[in-house]
Every structure is written in structure tokens, then in C-alpha cells.
Amino acid sequence: MSVSIVLVNYRTPKQTRLCLRSLRRFTRSPCETIVVDNRSGDESERYLRSLSWIRFFSNESPIPTHRNGLDLAIQQATGELILILHTDTFVRREGWLDNLLGYCSPDSFIVGTQDRVILPFRGANRLNLWWKRRKLTKRWRGRGASPKLISHCVVYRRELFTGHDQRFDHPEHVDGVYNDCGEFIQRYCEGENLGIRRLRCEELSPWLWHFEAATLNLVTRRKIPRKRRRTTERFYRRPDVHAILEDGSLDE
């Protein structure tokens, strides 16, 4: 199936550069990459405008948001599958896209994960992940719903937007869903019995890394926990990551 990779950028120059260069470095399967900028007006926007291998769009909505930026990108996408990535999600190795699409069966309309942080883990981290996942599932069951999928890496079948008239930019409160980017679409699929495939961190971490809040929370202004900030700083010091950041040929 043809694939469109979609990202929305807002003032994350370092993360966006690493995200796109890692995509360029490790993606061998044919696909199109669409990036929407929410009128950043900084070096990240200038960087995106300089890339010839992506399809760039500026979000001209009166109030540009991540949600209407996604809707704009999907309107322009040509792929049968829409793969949404956050700019703080980085590709680790070749074959990642084929592996991810391997989970997309003919009857699945959404493929994603409920795990917020995707990092290599071992030993005690496995117990910590199990405990957090159990706590999250219990919390959502108390609300009478399944855990929502996190939008840093989700694959949607294009038919959801063309045949089922779904979109991301909904009012802040629709049928019990509050201001969430993607949960309304997930609840729609559950109500219509459309297939949803849930992936675990263990299935994604060999291929992708994601740091929650690595984009510095410029919109929410939340503080990054100290432990996660240290992990992020160590990540950027890795030789392989530094090499990708310094490889300007990946922009060509």
C-alpha cells in the first residue's frame, strides 16, 4: 500500500532536523513525506522550506494548531495509509517502515500504541513499564473506555477521512472527548467496530525512539521531568545521533 508520512512542526528546529534526517537515512520503502508548519517564523520553518524531498505546507488557519495542521496535511496526502509522526520521534534503523506496515492488516483502520515513551529498555525497566501500563489500563476502564492511542506514531487508513468523514480538528468537547488529537477518531472506530491494532512499546522500540515532551512543550509550557531530561540529553550525545544531525547530505 502507498504511504504518506505526515508531521506538523512548531518551533522545534533540533528535533525536526533529526526526525527528518533519520527518516531520510533509514527509509527505503517508497513513500511521500508531508510537513506542515504552524507559522513558526524561526529557523525550523526556514529549514523546512529549504528541503526539496518533502512536500511543505504552511498552516494559514487563523489559529494554527496541531489538529488543523494534520487535517491540512491529510487533505494533500495521496497515500492509502497515513502515518503520523511527532517531530520528537526518531527512526533508529532501516526496515522500520516495512516492519510497522506489517502490522496493518486489511481490516485494521488504526494501528498505534498506548505507550507514551518508546525507548530501549531492559531489566528493571520492564517491570516499570508493566506497572505503568497496568495503572493506565485500570484508569481508563474506570472511565468505561479503552486506553487512548498516543499520536506520536499512528497509522490511519485513508478511508477514515474520505469515506467516514473523520477529521482531527473537532470542537473541544465532543461526546465526552476533551480537546484530544485523535481520540475522537479512535472512539468512532470502536463504535463502528472498525479494526484497531494496538502495539506495545516492545514492538516499536527496536525501530523508533520517542521522548515524551522532547519538543520542550512550547505550547503547554509543562516542565520536563528531570530524569527524562537527562535521558534526552544523553540521547543527543550518542555518536550515531550526532552523526545524523551533522550530515547535511541527508537534506538533499
The pTM assigned to this predicted structure is: 0.92
Q: Are 77 and 34 in contact (CB under 8 A)?
A: yes
Backbone dihedral region for residue 51 (phi beyond 0: left; psi -120 to 50: alpha; all else: beta): beta
Amino acid at residue number 240: D
C-alpha torsion 84→26→133→108, nearest 10 = 50
Collapsing DSSP states into helix, strand and coil, what is residue 3? Answer: strand
Give pLDDT, residue 131.
87
Residue with cell 513558526: 40
The predicted-structure confidence for 68-85, as pLDDT tens digits, reads as follows 999 999 999 999 999 999
Give pLDDT, residue 140.
93
More confident residue, 202 or 216: 202
pLDDT band with cut points at 50, 70 and 90 for residue 118: confident
Distance separating alpha carbons of residues 185 and 181, to the nearest angstrom: 9
Residue among 202, 201, 203 nearest 212 (CA): 201
DSSP string, 83-147: EEE-TTEEE-STTHHHHHHTT--TTEEEEEES-S-B----THHHHHHHHHHHHHHHHHHHTTSPP
More confident residue, 95 or 230: 95
Give pLDDT, residue 225.
67
pLDDT higher than 60, residue 222? no
Mean pLDDT lowest among 53-67, 153-167, 219-233: 219-233
Per-residue cell: 66: 496541531
Domain definitions of the chain by residue range: 3-251
Give the C-alpha distances (Å, rounded to integers) separating 148 from 100, 108, 143: 19, 16, 12
pLDDT band with cut points at 50, 70 and 90 for residue 30: very high
More confident residue, 145 or 125: 145
CATH number of 3-251: 3.90.550.10
Residue among 4, 27, 9, 168 nearest 87 (CA): 9
Distance separating alpha carbons of residues 18 and 246, to the nearest angstrom: 9
The per-residue pLDDT of the chain, averaged, comes to: 89
pLDDT band with cut points at 50, 70 and 90 for residue 217: very low
Distance separating alpha carbons of residues 48 and 125, to the nearest angstrom: 36
Q: Which distant-in-sequence residues (6+ apart) come within 8 Å of 248 by Cβ?
A: none
Mean pLDDT within 219-247:
77
Distance separating alpha carbons of residues 206 and 118, to the nearest angstrom: 9
Give pLDDT, residue 226.
73
Distance separating alpha carbons of residues 244 and 18, to the nearest angstrom: 7
The predicted-structure confidence for 161-213, as pLDDT tens digits, reads as follows 999 999 999 887 777 777 777 999 999 999 999 999 999 988 999 999 987 65
Give pLDDT, residue 4.
98
Q: N- to C-terminal Cα distance for the chain? A: 26
